[in-house]
Amino acid sequence: MTHDEHQLAGAYLSRVIEGPSRPLQEHLAQGRSLEELAQAVKNREEWLGPELLRQTASRWDWDRAGEDLDEAERHGFRLLSAQSKEWPEEQFTVAFGYAATGLSSRPRTYREDAVRPHALWVKGQSLRTLTQQALAVVGTRALSAYGAEATRMIVRDMIQHQWTIVSGGALGADAVAHRCAVEAGAATIAVAACGPGVNYPAAHAELFRSIAERGALVSEYPPLLRPARHRFLTRNRLVAALSQGTVVVEAAWRSGALSTLTWAQAFGRVAMAVPGPVTSVASLGCHDKIRRGDAQLVTSGADIRSLLSTLGGLDVDQQYELQFAPDEVQRLSPAELKVFDALSEHKGTETEALASEAGLPLALTVHALMTLQQRGLCRREGITWRRIRHSGAAA
């Protein structure tokens, strides 16, 4: 099979530099292309700087980009770079942009790795579309019966409101969240800590197949790479970056699932935790995060949506200010606002055209239109929709 230069460069760098690379991202930010950078790495060019040369020292001559692209394709995966239409640019701009401001007080390791992936291997639907309204649902592998019940309650509620569920594909909480979405025919994203072609855990092979149908499997790692401890941590960074908020449904003291919450904080995303019985140790990690103010206590999908709406991230006073604002438009969620902006006052537009204009999945567009109609901001005219003139709306 033949592959273009850009694809080959991306696959080469994905193999040679595993996971996030701050110096590589700095070159990309300065306008260098993947092709240029791949060539420079192969030539050991000095302008790359000592850190990037060090990161590529052991593998720079290991060029199997063509084979990797073929191998990935055999497993149904394609390679995305920042140039791809499906690249979740919006989410990455918000998440890594916030991390770059240094506003977050997260520890050094989080800051060092808080850079974009240079390539993503994806199987399934468009990441850009799926992540327009996405919630990360994570938790312990040793999920209790209560934890499973709480997870299902929240996931069911969120998917009814067209939210994509992002998780890590692991046993326990991740699996319950993914399965709950899949069984309801909803979209869910599993971010793997291993490369395409590896099913980890093996018991989830069938689940991963179902996820890719309406949702997506995502990995930062080259084909057939095995999972490893450090890869779980950087994987969690993508789970948090690809969603507007992260909720931990159950986690014991110092559970690994809490690292996704820390990533969410590092990205300025909404960090949330579900409380549980204090008579068991299963929710200790959640309680600790809430107590320290590192996570907001949430008890339901409604709680979560209210935090993730336009009101999310504001303090109580600001929330009230918006809540009682005379302007209906100010109360719209980001997705609703996009659909509202796509509507015309002067002519009706078909739903598909609105979804395309707003860059949102069709189901979410319909959902947003229903809300806008309820609030008197648009009306249906046969198969089209038209904006209703609104005093507070921009011209």
Instruction: Tell which one of 296, 310, 356, 371 touches a second copy (CB under 8 A).
Output: 296
Quick note: the x/- pattern for a second copy over 262-281, rule CB under 8 A, is ------------xxxxxx--
Question: With CB under 8 A, what is the number of residues at the site for a second copy?
Answer: 24
**DSSP conformational letter for 388:** P
Name the minimum Å distance from CB 290 to a second copy: 5
What does the radius of gyration of the chain's CA atoms come to, in whole angstroms?
Answer: 22
Q: Name the residue type at position 105.
A: S
How far is CA 307 from each of CA 50, 96, 105, 386, rounded to the nearest angstrom? Answer: 43, 20, 21, 29
Strand-pair partners of 189: 166, 216
CB of 280 to a second copy, least distance (A): 10
Taking the C-alpha atoms of residue 244 and residue 136, their distance in angstroms, rounded to an integer, is 8
CA–CA distance, 3 with 34 (Å, rounded to integer): 14
Nearer to a second copy, 121 or 163 (CB): 163
Site string for a second copy, 221-260 (x = CB under 8 A): ----------------------------------------
Q: Which of 292, 326, 374, 394 binds a second copy (CB under 8 A)?
A: 292
Q: How far is CA 297 from CA 151, 164, 177, 239, 248, in A?
A: 14, 21, 19, 20, 10
Scanning residues 142 to 161, which ones bind a second copy (CB under 8 A)?
146, 149-150, 153
Q: Nearest 5°: phi and psi at 197?
A: 95, -10
Query: How many other C-beta atoms can be found within 10 angstroms of the C-beta atom of residue 174?
Result: 31
To the nearest whole angstrom, how small is the minimum distance from the Cβ of residue 336 to a second copy? 24
CB of 321 to a second copy, least distance (A): 16
Of residues 302-321, those binding a second copy (CB under 8 A) = 303, 316
Q: Look at residues 54, 27, 44 and name the one whose alpha carbon lies nearest to residue 116.
A: 27
To a second copy, the closest distance from the beta carbon of 354 in angstroms equals: 35
Kindly tell me which residue out of 291, 318, 376, 381 binds a second copy, with binding defined by CB under 8 A.
291
Binding positions for a second copy, rule: CB under 8 A:
146, 149-150, 153, 274-279, 283-284, 287, 290-293, 296-300, 303, 316
